[in-house]
Each structure stands twice: as structure tokens, then as C-alpha cells.
């Protein structure tokens, strides 16, 4: 089924004559307008506009389609206006991509205070970078920088990837094995324990293992759960190991509910970046969200930043 927003975008391009004009009238990005138009043209199977310089000239088929949808679409827009809860000026809608755990531990508590509409998207980082470049997302929080010349990356914080376990794990036995018998025996010790992983990305575990043992882990986690926050809750049961970002379990470690087992002989740290397009209609809203993240990170750094065994 065709997306109604494609028709709305098509009508805006027809009326304004430019992609920029359509984007301004709809309060969306120009790449988003282009994506809607190309999707509609692919759906109907023919060109709707000829691009002549900066002007978008409707083709004959484009004119026919406009005449067919213009009146029904206007009626739907009138219905929408009549059912709106307020007559305030249009509120911008910002689409932001990040991992689920980052949202839960940072932005979630501020959502109800935002003076604009918000759509949160979860996914893999390469996919989010691609959607940002296409204008589907307006801002992403990512530990990976893309290569598109249209995207700006701004470092704002970092995370350390650590090995943690339940409170009943014999930490002293592991450290003694590591110190007296070396890294190979320490690896074997770890593999004898029960491990937690997620249904999604296992990159934290892979990176940590390669950095400290020189190869990918040659075992599969015993328990696969939906996300990293689920792992932390499971570890409170007393047993099991997992490799996770430190900010997710800082409070649990300080409260003795989870143990820091090992930071690794070589510490694994990821830089976190804001990613946004160079040209955006939502700079004010994006800066607002960035400010909330900086506020959270500053608060965390103001607390005890070092976790001791």
C-alpha cells in the first residue's frame, strides 16, 4: 500500500515547484522529500517530475496524478485540522536514532519535557548512519563515524567496555589465575563460567576478547536475552558473566549487586558521537537534545567515575 505521506510530499512539490520549498512547507528535510518522491515514482512506475535546474516541472502523468489526488488529499487535511487538539503553530518532529540501552539510561527521563515531537528509532549503527544520510533520521548517537560528506560527527563522551559478573562469582580465584598462570589460563577460567549475550549485536564481547586474547571468543553465550539492560538484571541473580559498557552497570557495581571482574589488560574504550546532517531545518531542536546528553554525562562524571574491585 502506498504511504499517504508520499502523496502529501508530491502535492507540496507540485505546489512549490522545488524540493526545498516542499521541505520547508512540510517541516521535513530535503533528503526526506527526495526519498518520498523517489519511493512514489517507484511505486507508480513512472516519472512525476522533470528536473530542470532548480525547478521541478510536472510530467503529463504527474499532472494526471495531481488532479486525481488533490481534492481527496485536501479533504483529508481539512479533517486533520478539525481534529487537532490545539491551534498552536506547527510543532517540529525530530527523529533520533540510538541503541535501546542508551535511550533508557539517558533521554527517556526527559521525553515528557521536550517542547517538540520526538520519534526514537533503534537499530544497528550502519543502518542508522544510512538513514541519517538519507534524511530519515535527524540525529544519531553512535560510537562509529560514517564516511558520508553530508554528516557531521561531534565527540561528546566515551564509554569503557568491561567484564562484569554476578555477586557470587569468585573474583579472587580469577585474579589469582590471571596473575600466577597468565592470560591463556585466565581465558580458560572465564570460559568455564555461564555467559550472557543479546539477540542483537555481540560486538562488545568480540572487541574485548580480540583486544585481550588475540582472537574472537570460541564459545557461545549460555543465555541470550533481549538487550544489555536485561543482562544486568539477570546478573543480579548472583552468577554469570558478560561484557558491557560501564555506564549501564555503574550503580549496580557500587551497590554490590554486580561485580566488576576485569577491565582487561588493555582497556577497551569507545568514543560516543553525535551525528547529524550538515544542513538541517531542526538545529534548535537537535541542540536541545545534545544539551540533555551533555547534562547527563556531566552528572555521571561528577559522581565517582572510577569503579574499584
Indicate whether 243 pLDDT > 80.
yes
Answer whether 0.75 is exceeded by the pTM: no
Write the pLDDT tens digit of every residue in 90-110.
788 999 999 888 898 889 999
3-class DSSP state for residue 115? coil
Taking residues 248-256, report their average pLDDT. 92
C-alpha separations of 14 from 10, 11, 72, 74 in Å: 6, 5, 16, 14
In degrees, rounded to 5, the angle at the alpha carbon of residue 266 between the alpha carbons of residues 260 and 272 is 80
What span, in angstroms and rounded, lies between the C-alpha atoms of 41 and 43? 5
Tell how far CA 106 is from the center of its chain. Answer: 12
DSSP 90: P
Taking residues 34-52, report their average pLDDT. 90
Whole-number pLDDT of residue 201: 64
Whole-number pLDDT of residue 83: 59
Write the pLDDT tens digit of every residue in 191-233.
999 999 987 668 889 999 999 999 999 998 999 998 889 999 9
Of 2-6, 149-153, 262-266, 288-292, least confident by mean pLDDT is 2-6
DSSP secondary structure letters along 205-223: HHHHHHHHHSS--SS--SE
Indicate whether 300 pLDDT > 70.
no
Closest by CA to 133, choosing from 105, 160, 152, is 152
3-class DSSP state for residue 206? helix
Q: What is the largest CA-CA distance in the chain?
A: 81
What span, in angstroms and rounded, lies between the C-alpha atoms of 305 and 286? 27
Write the pLDDT tens digit of every residue in 258-297.
999 999 999 999 899 999 999 888 999 999 999 999 887 7
Amino acid at each position: 500500500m502506498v504511504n499517504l505521506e508520499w502523496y502529501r510530499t508530491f502535492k507540496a512539490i507540485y505546489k512549490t515547484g522545488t524540493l526545498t520549498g516542499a521541505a520547508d512547507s512540510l517541516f521535513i528535510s530535503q533528503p526526506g522529500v527526495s526519498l518520498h518522491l523517489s519511493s512514489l515514482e517507484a511505486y507508480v512506475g513512472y516519472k512525476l517530475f522533470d528536473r530542470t535546474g532548480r525547478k521541478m516541472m510536472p510530467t503529463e502523468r504527474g499532472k494526471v496524478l495531481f488532479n486525481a489526488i488533490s481534492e481527496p488529499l485536501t479533504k483529508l487535511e481539512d479533517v486533520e485540522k478539525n481534529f487537532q487538539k490545539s491551534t498552536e503553530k506547527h510543532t517540529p518532529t525530530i527523529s533520533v536514532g540510538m541503541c535501546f540501552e542508551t535511550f533508557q539510561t539517558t533521554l527517556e527521563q526527559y521525553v515528557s519535557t521536550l517542547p517538540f515531537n520526538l520519534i526514537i528509532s533503534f537499530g544497528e549503527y550502519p543502518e542508522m548512519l544510512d538513514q541519517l544520510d538519507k534524511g530519515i533520521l535527524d540525529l544519531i548517537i553512535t560510537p562509529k563515524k560514517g564516511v558520508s560528506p553530508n554528516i557531521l560527527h561531534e565527540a561528546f563522551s566515551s564509554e569503557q567496555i568491561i567484564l562484569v559478573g554476578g555477586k557470587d562469582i569468585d573474583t579472587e580465584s580469577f585474579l589469582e589465575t590471571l596473575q600466577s598462570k597468565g592470560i591463556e589460563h585466565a581465558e580458560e577460567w572465564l570460559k568455564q563460567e555461564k555467559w550472557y549475550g543479546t539477540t542483537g549485536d555481540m560486538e562488545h564481547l568480540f572487541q574485548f576478547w580480540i583486544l585481550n586474547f588475540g582472537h574472537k571468543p570460541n564459545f557461545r553465550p549460555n543465555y541470550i536475552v533481549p538487550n544489555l539492560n536485561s543482562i544486568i538484571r539477570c546478573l543480579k541473580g548472583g552468577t554469570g558473566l558478560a561484557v558491557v559498557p560501564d555506564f549501564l552497570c555503574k550503580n549496580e557495581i557500587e551497590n554490590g549487586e554486580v561485580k566488576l571482574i576485569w577491565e582487561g589488560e588493555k582497556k577497551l574504550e569507545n568514543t560516543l558521537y553525535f551525528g547529524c546532517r550538515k544542513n538541517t531545518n531542526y538545529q534548535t531542536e537537535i541542540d536541545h537534545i545534545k544539551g540533555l546528553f551533555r547534562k547527563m554525562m556531566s552528572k555521571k562524571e561528577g559522581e565517582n567515575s572510577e569503579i574499584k574491585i
